[in-house]
Amino acid sequence: MEIKLFYSKNWTDYELLDTGEGEKLERFGEYIFVRPYEDAVWPKTLPTKDWNNADGKFWSSKQGAKKGWTFSKKITDKWEMEYKGIKFLAMPTPFRHLGFFPEQASHWDFIENSLGKASRVRPIKFLNLFGYTGVASLFALRAGAEVTHLDASKQSLDYAKENQKLNTELAHAPMRVICDDAVKFLEREEKRGSKYDAVIMDPPKFGRGPKGEVWKIEEMLPKLLLQVKKVLSDQPIFVIITSYATNSSSLSLGYALLDIMKSFGGETEQGPPRLGLVEAGELCVLEKSNNRTIPLANTAVWQSE
């Protein structure tokens, strides 16, 4: 298993300007925001005036203030962003996020590249579990895949549909948008005999399904991965898992993928089974103030060789 840092150098609409003292300073389009980043246990690099001039700040309950956003000027409820020609909406949410995760851009690159190659050979079905507002799904669509996009939040799915419409060339591309509990959906797909060639999942640390189903990652992740395995095609292209849980480990995610994917090998010319490649590591962004690589999530990727 290889260990690596995953990051993209291709952003134009987003920048991580600075980090330090438990916070990060970021540009999303024309707006600059301060958000909590508890792992930043070092001093800030940019002067205080740069931080104080931010258009908005998200306060966590740990900061001794009322949790939520405060703004120094009026901003629009949502605005358009772009990455490599794919358009999507940004908006301040009650959960400190802005409708997408910039550090996942390297996965978007990988998805489009891998599925683009495969879809020239055969039809490809892509499954996005815990799909949120659907940016990864848009890159899969542009690569020529048939997409199933699932989330337990109806509001997130509404944004996913809106993001698809923003991209006129993808507005009528084949994307099923489903509101459901991930494990229950996979169980039904197994019974239906549905199969997928590529899967990405971003399970939360804690959450609830559309019917109040309780999700705890430490209890449910093994079951989720087992069900994912049962809906993979005979020739899977990749499986990606990302976790923002503070007690998660990229190595643990990698070992879990190695275990479920060990039966998807093939015979090499020399005879031994070829199990595919697993890369584990951290999703990162490059910090403009001093060119550091800042880790924001753990991830693991299995891909066929």
Round to whole Å and give the CA distance between 247 and 274. Answer: 31
- Which of 22, 42, 77 lies at the terminal end of a domain, its last residue? 77
| Whether 43 and 161 share a structural domain | no
Inter-axis angle of helices 154-166 and 135-142, to 10 degrees? 40
Q: What average pLDDT is seen over the chain?
A: 91
Structure tokens at 127: 């499954």
Residue 168 is predicted with a pLDDT of: 97
Biggest alpha carbon–alpha carbon distance for the chain: 65
- Which of 47, 77, 107 lies at the terminal end of a domain, its last residue? 77
For 43-180, strand residue ranges (E) read 56-59, 68-71, 79-83, 86-90, 125-129, 146-151, 175-179
Residue 99 is predicted with a pLDDT of: 96
- CATH code for the domain of 19: 2.60.40.1180
Q: What single letter denotes the amino acid at residue 157?
A: L
Residue 82: inside a domain: no
Are the C-beta atoms of residues 183 and 220 closer than 8 Å to each other? yes
Round to whole Å and give the CA distance between 233 and 229. Answer: 9
Give the range among 82-86, 103-107, 264-268 with minimum mean pLDDT.
Answer: 264-268
pTM of the model: 0.92
| Whether 199 and 286 share a structural domain | yes
pLDDT(1) > 70: yes
Residue 301: phi and psi, rounded to 5, are -130, 125
Residue 213 is predicted with a pLDDT of: 63
Give residue for tokens 């507005």. Answer: 171
- CATH code for the domain of 237: 3.40.50.150
pLDDT(271) > 60: no
| Whether 27 and 151 share a structural domain | no
Who wins on pLDDT, 218 or 251? Answer: 251
Residue 264 is predicted with a pLDDT of: 81
